[in-house]
């Protein structure tokens, strides 16, 4: 009987750890997604730095 209680406790611990791993993986995936989105949103601005001129094209604004 005592061995069965110990086994149930170990099973419970395993289930808790498995649930935590799922949450950790989800958080990691969200962090990677946010980093990729931030990189994509800022990398476009670095490439779009072409000079802008006034209407007659004589002065850069």
**For position 56, what pLDDT does the model report?**
79
**For position 6, what pLDDT does the model report?**
73
8 A C-beta contact, residue 61 and residue 53: yes
Average pLDDT over every residue of 10-37: 85
Is residue 27 pLDDT above 70, yes or no? Answer: yes
- What mean pLDDT value characterizes the chain? 79
State both tokens at 50: 């072409």
Domain borders along the chain are 1-61
Cα dist from 30 to 23, 42, 46, 47, whole Å: 11, 18, 25, 26
Residue 55: pLDDT band (50, 70, 90) is: confident
Average pLDDT over every residue of 12-39: 86
Average pLDDT over every residue of 23-38: 89
């Amino acid at each position: 009987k005592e061995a069965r209680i110990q086994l149930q406790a170990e099973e419970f611990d395993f289930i808790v750890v498995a649930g935590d791993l799922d949450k950790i993986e989800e958080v990691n995936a969200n962090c990677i997604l946010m980093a990729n989105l931030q990189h994509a949103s800022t990398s476009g601005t670095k490439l779009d730095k072409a000079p802008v001129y006034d209407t007659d094209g004589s002065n850069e604004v």
